[in-house]
Structure 1
Amino acid sequence: MLYNKTDIKVRYGETDQMGIVNNAVYPSWFEIGRTELFDDLQLPYSEMEKQGIMLPLSELHIKYHSPAYYGDTVTIETKVIKMPGVRIVFDYEVSHNGRLITTGQTIQAFINADSRRPIRIPEDLKNSLQKYFE
């Protein structure tokens, strides 16, 4: 399993007039979790793109459990439970002091940057990740 835990502080611009985080913010927080996960693995998105691999979003699921507020420090937990094939599935939990705020899932497809066609996970990337799924 791949796993990352990232803390961020809720910024004023992410909230409405009542100080509650806008629902549209959560997908960008999920992206922070994905980016940090790959950075932790020493596999940043920028390097994958240089190798001609892109990971566009194909599905996004969000369930709202409770609000987050301006000034809260929230924890984004990002997991990949299953070895990727053509797609990679990320699961997310956002919480504040143990209170569940949001759960979600995104599915990204591996595509060739030039052809924009789906591809299987490249062998070198697969080999780099294999140890996390054994």
Structure 2
Amino acid sequence: MKTKTKLTVRYAETDQMGIVHHSNYPVWFEAGRTDFIRQTGVSYSDIEARGVLMPLYEIACRFKSPARYEDEVTVVTSLKELSRVRIILSYEVVRDSDGALLATGETLHAFTDKGLRPLNAERAAPDVYKLLKAALEVPSGFKKS
């Protein structure tokens, strides 16, 4: 399963060189991740209401080409790996006008309780885990409906 989140580069996101500052990509990844989770059939707030948190513990971003003010971009998000204790999501940021790949990245998240102690997501929120697992099993190029 892959989701697409559309964004338009705001002036405040650019630096003195007129390109998107690197600090914005994690924010864009978060927008993509939030959309991805929602499209599995549950929201972040629903997951947290069940007592399950997903703190970020690692992030990677590889820059390929610069984005500029008013570029329309799409963050393509997919689930790379899921276990009972962690989830890894992958991202591609693409410029809509020419299809140029601007950046790729990954975020790694643990499943924890509200005290940030690790927990087994399959036991703590079996319905959520089942939805995420189903998203992992959807063939590439297909969007779960």
* Whole-angstrom CA distance in 2 between matches of 1:106 and 1:129: 15
The residue aligned with 1:15 is 14
* Whole-angstrom CA distance in 2 between matches of 1:90 and 1:128: 15
Identity value in percent: 41
Where does the alignment leave 5 or more consecutive residues of structure 2 unmatched? 138-145
The residue aligned with 2:108 is 107
Q: Whose strand proportion is higher, 1 or 2?
A: 1
Aligned length: 132
The 5-angstrom pairing of residues 1-134 of structure 1 reads: 2-96=1-95, 97-113=98-114, 115-121=115-121, 122-134=125-137
* Whole-angstrom CA distance in 2 between matches of 1:38 and 1:133: 12
* Whole-angstrom CA distance in 1 between matches of 2:90 and 2:108: 9
* TM-score normalised per structure 1: 0.91
* Equivalent residues of 2:85, 2:119 under 8 A apart: yes
* Whole-angstrom CA distance in 2 between matches of 1:133 and 1:89: 11
SS of aligned partner of 1:55: coil
Structure 1 residue 39: deviation in Å? 1.5
* Whole-angstrom CA distance in 2 between matches of 1:46 and 1:93: 25
SS of aligned partner of 2:117: coil
SS of aligned partner of 2:12: helix
* Whole-angstrom CA distance in 2 between matches of 1:40 and 1:88: 16
* Whole-angstrom CA distance in 1 between matches of 2:55 and 2:136: 23
* Whole-angstrom CA distance in 2 between matches of 1:130 and 1:107: 16
List structure 1 segments (4+ residues) > 4 angstroms apart after TM superposition.
none
SS of aligned partner of 1:116: coil
- 1:11-64 CA-to-partner distances (Å, cap 9, x unmatched) read 011001332100110000000000011121221111111111111100000111
Where does the alignment leave 5 or more consecutive residues of structure 1 unmatched? none
* TM-score normalised per structure 2: 0.85
* Whole-angstrom CA distance in 2 between matches of 1:25 and 1:132: 26
Cα distance change of structure 1 residues 132 and 36 upon mapping to structure 2, 3 Å threshold: closer
SS of aligned partner of 2:57: strand
* Whole-angstrom CA distance in 2 between matches of 1:24 and 1:129: 28
